[in-house]
């Protein structure tokens, strides 16, 4: 970790055009009427905050699956992976992480391997908290093929406010656990479809740190974890 990263949080490069636009608009608003300029400055500061890209420390033991995003575990349920990933119709355990507009929106690779499929599908912009958002909303679906024949899927899902998914992965890429793969702008959701051999190590309502929080472990022998609000 760079020493400067503990003082100033880096900004994702995809955010700079937005920050610049907000800043220019603020200058224009100041010229029109001072109070409007201050509102524009506040919006610019929020834009800087939204596109922050903090350094994360990823656990590196083989078989660990980390959360692809900051946010709250909203659902853990059985669901068929996106058909475009060619993983068959059989349901898999799906962990859904919901991101609000205040979460870090940079997404990360949940487990290392080879990108077997990476498919964008246009769709609607329903509230990402709804279950049907997984099927109906705009999404970027990714299949990661691991050693031993296992595979894991994740999707970046646009939400009610989100209107743009950015994904830097390409089919055939070899990726490491926790590396950045893109972001979703302004509120969204990430789904992870586990391999049949995996059980979730998180519970609904838990807060995730993208690239750090372990959500499953290939080597785990315990039952799925439960949680209690305290």
Q: Give CA–CA dist 139/71, Å, rounded.
A: 18
Among the listed residues 174, 178, 170, 190, the one whose alpha carbon sits nearest the alpha carbon of residue 65: 178
Asked whether the beta carbons of 53 and 42 are under 8 A apart, the reply is: no
149 contact partners, CB below 8 Å, separation of at least 6: none
Q: Structure tokens of 73?
A: 């575990």
Q: Give CA–CA dist 113/126, Å, rounded.
A: 31
Residue entry with tokens 């519970």: 203
Q: Give CA–CA dist 108/112, Å, rounded.
A: 11
Q: Structure tokens of 142?
A: 């990714």
Q: Give CA–CA dist 214/11, Å, rounded.
A: 25
Sign of CA dihedral 175, 146, 133, 75: negative
- To the query of whether residue 188 is one of the catalytic residues in this protein, the response is yes
Among the listed residues 94, 52, 100, the one whose alpha carbon sits nearest the alpha carbon of residue 75: 94
| Catalytic residue, candidates 67, 151, 188, 197 | 188
What are the residue numbers of the active site?
Answer: 188
């Amino acid at each position: 970790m760079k020493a400067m990263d503990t003082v100033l949080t880096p900004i994702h490069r995809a955010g700079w055009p937005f920050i610049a636009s907000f800043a220019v608009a603020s200058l224009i608003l100041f010229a029109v009427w001072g109070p409007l300029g201050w509102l524009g400055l506040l919006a610019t500061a929020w834009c800087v905050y939204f596109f922050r890209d903090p350094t994360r420390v990823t656990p590196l033991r083989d078989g660990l699956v980390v959360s692809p995003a900051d946010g709250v575990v909203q659902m853990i349920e059985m669901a068929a992976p996106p058909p475009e990933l060619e993983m068959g119709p059989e349901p898999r355990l799906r962990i859904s992480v919901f991101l609000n507009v205040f979460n870090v929106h940079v997404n990360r690779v949940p487990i290392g391997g080879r990108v077997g499929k990476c498919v964008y599908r246009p769709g609607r912009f329903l509230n990402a908290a709804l279950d049907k958002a997984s099927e109906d909303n705009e999404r970027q679906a990714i299949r990661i093929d691991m050693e031993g024949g296992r595979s894991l899927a994740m999707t970046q899902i646009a939400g009610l406010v989100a209107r743009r998914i950015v994904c830097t992965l390409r089919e055939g890429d070899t990726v490491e656990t926790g590396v950045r793969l893109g972001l979703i702008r302004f509120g969204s959701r990430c789904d992870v479809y586990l391999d049949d051999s995996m059980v979730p190590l998180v519970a609904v309502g838990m807060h995730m740190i993208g690239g750090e929080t372990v959500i499953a472990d290939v080597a785990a022998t315990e039952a799925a974890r439960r949680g209690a609000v305290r």
